[in-house]
Chains A and B, each alone.
Chain A
């Protein structure tokens, strides 16, 4: 018998109240990170507050201007959604590259964003498209959302409700998966948006980041040739037994060119 308490509230308000009342609570979304973390004893919360009982957090809507994805929508639903495939095919492709089929059936976009794993795929799309993260209390621009290694702008107890993606003129995503885990060693989401070109990198740094100088190189035309010769400094990039920081820097440049070259029109 463990002391773990389990709750399944039916509203965001009730969930936030349970969180405020708990000793050391965690929200539970799809559980594809949190449940293994509990099994490995890397975390031992007092309470699990399951968000699965809250209506309105699963589903996709939108039009040719923006796509709205509910925070509890599993990756596999996004990957196969007709609206997403039509308007932002790179977003559907990214969702379909996460984990494996079983993980995509359970894991959610909101859970992934709140976790802000340095090698997660979703942050690249959210930052690359300049999306907005809507929570139970405010709207947060992607540029303000990711703040560090497993760190976000979310306040204690704040819950992601949905993500709004503006439809770009075109977008592409290129990634190099680690052979065993499938997590990207480095990946770049490239988008030509109404506000200009955007390039977001995941897997290579403590959290997702933009290549703002490279974006300027694309301002004259969304053409991979304009990135030729641009190099990223290895300082501060991730290094582990899969890849050195210098190799990741090299991969970022290659992935950036591939993402731009492969960008599909919306």
Chain B
């Protein structure tokens, strides 16, 4: 069954006709060409596909595209661009919060939510906030350092993620 859906992706209106079984992550990647959102496990474990759905971090492989009807979605492409990175992206680059980079888009999206909940997080807050995201390179140490630095940057600027 094909379903007509309307939603907002990175601020732009989207109208798509999708099979009822299509995942939100496949709508983003295959229909809209937004391949920054990665597919790791496709079963809700790894967090590589994390996006924001109406302002909350979700795993786009455990949300059907039809469930996003009427919603606002933000992907990694909606944050910054190479000349003007989002503060969390900038902190990941500065502190080398990545090794192969596959998990990074999901880490950044999850980090944004944890920084909204904990503007001045402890390392324990950061690790708990990234509990739903796996890094197979096990590069967690620098990821935590990057999020800690992003919190400090955002705190100095007085702006939230």
List the interface of chain A (C-beta within 8 A of B).
Answer: 1-6, 8, 28, 31-32, 35-36, 38-40, 48, 50, 52, 76, 99-103, 105-106, 182
Partner of B19, one of A1, A38, A100, A102: A1
Interface residues of B (CB under 8 A from A): 1-3, 19-21, 23, 42-44, 47, 50, 53, 56-59, 61-64, 66-67, 69, 110, 113-114, 129, 131-133
Choose among A5, A38, A50 the residue that contacts B1 (Cβ–Cβ < 8 A): A5
Q: Which of B2, B43, B132 contacts A100 (CB 8 A)?
A: B132
Interchain residue pairs with CB less than 8 A apart (24): A2-B1, A4-B1, A4-B20, A6-B20, A6-B66, A31-B67, A35-B44, A35-B62, A38-B21, A39-B23, A39-B43, A48-B20, A48-B64, A50-B67, A99-B132, A100-B47, A101-B110, A101-B114, A101-B132, A102-B58, A102-B132, A103-B59, A106-B58, A106-B59
Ordered nearest first, which 3 A-B pairs have the shortest CB separation?
A100-B132, A6-B20, A100-B131
Name which of B23, B42, B63, B129 has the most chain A CB atoms within 10 A of its CB: B63
For A35, list chain B residues within 8 Å (CB).
Answer: 23, 44, 61-64
List residues of chain B with CB within 8 A of the CB of A100: 47, 131-133
CA distance A260 to B129 in the complex (A): 28
**B interface majority secondary structure:** mixed
Once the chains are docked, how many angstroms separate the CA of A6 from the CA of B43? 20
Q: Please give, as numbers and ranges, the residues of chain B lying within 8 Å of A31 by CB-CB distance.
A: 62-64, 67
With A39-B23, A40-B43 already in contact, the answer to whether A102 and B57 are too (CB < 8 A) is yes
What is the CB-to-nearest-CB distance from B56 to chain A, in angstroms, rounded to a whole number? Answer: 4
Shortest CB–CB separation between residue B70 and chain A, in angstroms? 9
User: What distance in Å separates the Cβ of B129 from its nearest Cβ neighbour in chain A?
Assistant: 6
* B62 contacts across to A, CB distance below 8 A: 31-32, 35-36, 103, 106
- Check A39/B42 contact, CB under 8 A, given A102-B132, A105-B56, A106-B63: yes
Q: Which residues of A contact B132 (CB under 8 A)?
A: 99-103
Which B residues are in CB contact (< 8 Å) with A182?
A: 131
A52 interface neighbour in B44, B67, B110, Cβ under 8 Å: B67
Shortest C-beta distance, A23 to chain B (Å), equals: 13
Nearest residue in B to A182 (C-beta to C-beta)?
B131
Residue with the highest number of chain B CB atoms closer than 10 Å, among A5, A48, A100:
A100
A28 surroundings in chain B (CB, below 8 A): 64, 67
Given A1-B2, A4-B21, A36-B43, CB of A105 within 8 Å of CB of B66: no
Task: Give the residue name and chain of the A residue nearest to B42 (CB).
Answer: A39
Tell me the smallest distance from the CB of B148 to a CB of chain A, in Å.
17
- Distance in Å from the Cβ of A32 to the closest Cβ of chain B? 6
Point out the residues of chain A lying under 8 angstroms from B59, CB to CB.
102-103, 106
